[in-house]
Amino acid sequence: MNREFEKIVREAGEIIKRGFSEEKDIDFKSRVDLVTKFDLEVELFLKSRVQKLYPDFEIVGEETSSESFGTASKKIYIDPIDGTTNFVHSLPFVAISIGIWEDGEPLEGVVYNPILDELFYAKRNSGAFLNGKKISVSSRDSLQDGLISTGFPYTKVEKGDDYEWTVKVFSEILPKCRDVRRYGSASLDLAYLSKGTFDGYYELNLQPWDVSAGILLVEEAGGEIRNHSGEKYKIEVDRVIVATNGKVGELNSIVSSVELR
């Protein structure tokens, strides 16, 4: 990983560490979608510093970009704090997620949890690493022996189609695997899949900045990223992400079997 890039990410991590243990004022994007002044501070810091390092890329940040994600072919997706609910409650599963993409394909990805000092990094065709050590997905090949991670969409509060889908898929998967975890940070879910802790992961309604770095981590660690139909996942397009070690295909079948409305 480029030294300057790593320095920037670690400096941004210091902002998260500063806010982690204190009582935080919360703003609400929706009833359960929280944001703090630290989310914005980290994003503004990263935006200006990363832009200088990659001047010909468009920065798409969760807190400062519009929903349309822009039209550039070269983009850097930034989630300044992935796991804001954890951050608000001082639960140490929070991460900075930065994914560098060109023409719909990932080039580099970094997921950094400053609280546990875990820095995941992947570069296309060069492997995935945790704190400089090469990592790979697990070799477990049965869903029944697998630990599966997931997340619940913020739209759950409306008890509409997204909620129905989430509950149905969950009820199908829960008896068929070792157990399910809800970690609260999509980028870390993918990072932990890439290092073999989780064997599969799925979620509905994620945004590009949630997954832009984790996708490359999983792929470079030997795993697979698919959509609801079992095809290759398309960033900015697909609503469902299913990530696996490439060996628990039953997870893909179960997710696909529940109709998406």
- In the chain, alpha helices (H): 3-20, 37-53, 84-88, 161-173, 186-194, 208-220, 249-257
* Secondary structure letter of residue 83 according to DSSP: -
φ, ψ of residue 64 to 5 degrees: the values are: -125, 0
Listed in sequence order, the residues at least 6 apart from 68 whose beta carbon sits closer than 8 Å to its beta carbon are none
Which residue among 65, 138, 149, 185 contacts ligand IPD (CB under 6 A)? 185
- Tokens describing residue 205: 């309604």
Does position 186 interact with ligand IPD (CB under 6 A)? The reply is yes
- Tokens 């704090």 belong to 81
Q: Which is nearer to Ca ion, 79 or 250 (by Cβ)?
A: 79
Does position 43 interact with ligand IPD (CB under 6 A)? The reply is no
* Number of Cβ within a 10 Å radius of residue 184: 19
Q: Shortest Cβ distance from residue 141 to Ca ion (Å)?
A: 30
Does position 63 interact with ligand IPD (CB under 6 A)? The reply is no
φ, ψ of residue 175 to 5 degrees: the values are: -75, -15
151 contact choice in Ca ion, ligand IPD, none (CB below 5 to 8 Å, kind-dependent):
ligand IPD
Q: Which is nearer to ligand IPD, 121 or 192 (by Cβ)?
A: 192
Q: Which is nearer to ligand IPD, 210 or 238 (by Cβ)?
A: 210
| Residues facing residue 108 across a β-bridge | 100, 123
> Cβ distance 252 to 148 under 8 Å?
no
Give the up-direction half-sphere exposure of residue 168: CA atoms within 13 A in the CB hemisphere: 16
How many residues bind ligand IPD (CB under 6 A)? The answer is 13
| Distance separating alpha carbons of residues 158 and 156, to the nearest angstrom | 5
184 contact choice in ligand IPD, Ca ion, none (CB below 5 to 8 Å, kind-dependent):
ligand IPD
199 contact choice in Ca ion, ligand IPD, none (CB below 5 to 8 Å, kind-dependent):
none
Burial group, residue 14, by CB count within 10 angstroms (0-12, 13-18, 19+) = exposed
> Cβ distance 141 to 223 under 8 Å?
no
Q: Shortest Cβ distance from residue 147 to ligand IPD (Å)?
A: 16
Q: Which is nearer to ligand IPD, 99 or 151 (by Cβ)?
A: 151
**Residue nearest to Ca ion according to CB distances in the complex:** 82
113 contact choice in ligand IPD, Ca ion, none (CB below 5 to 8 Å, kind-dependent):
none
Which residue among 151, 196, 214, 246 contacts ligand IPD (CB under 6 A)? 151
Q: Shortest Cβ distance from residue 182 to ligand IPD (Å)?
A: 8
| Distance separating alpha carbons of residues 119 and 85, to the nearest angstrom | 21
Does position 146 interact with ligand IPD (CB under 6 A)? The reply is no
Which residue among 210, 220, 224, 250 contacts Ca ion (CB under 5 A)? 210
Which 74-93 residues touch ligand IPD, going by CB under 6 A? 79, 82-85
Listed in sequence order, the residues at least 6 apart from 84 whose beta carbon sits closer than 8 Å to its beta carbon are 34, 35, 36, 39, 94
- Give me the residues that bind ligand IPD (CB under 6 A), please: 79, 82-85, 151, 153, 184-186, 203, 206, 210
- Give me the residues that bind Ca ion (CB under 5 A), please: 62, 79, 81-82, 210
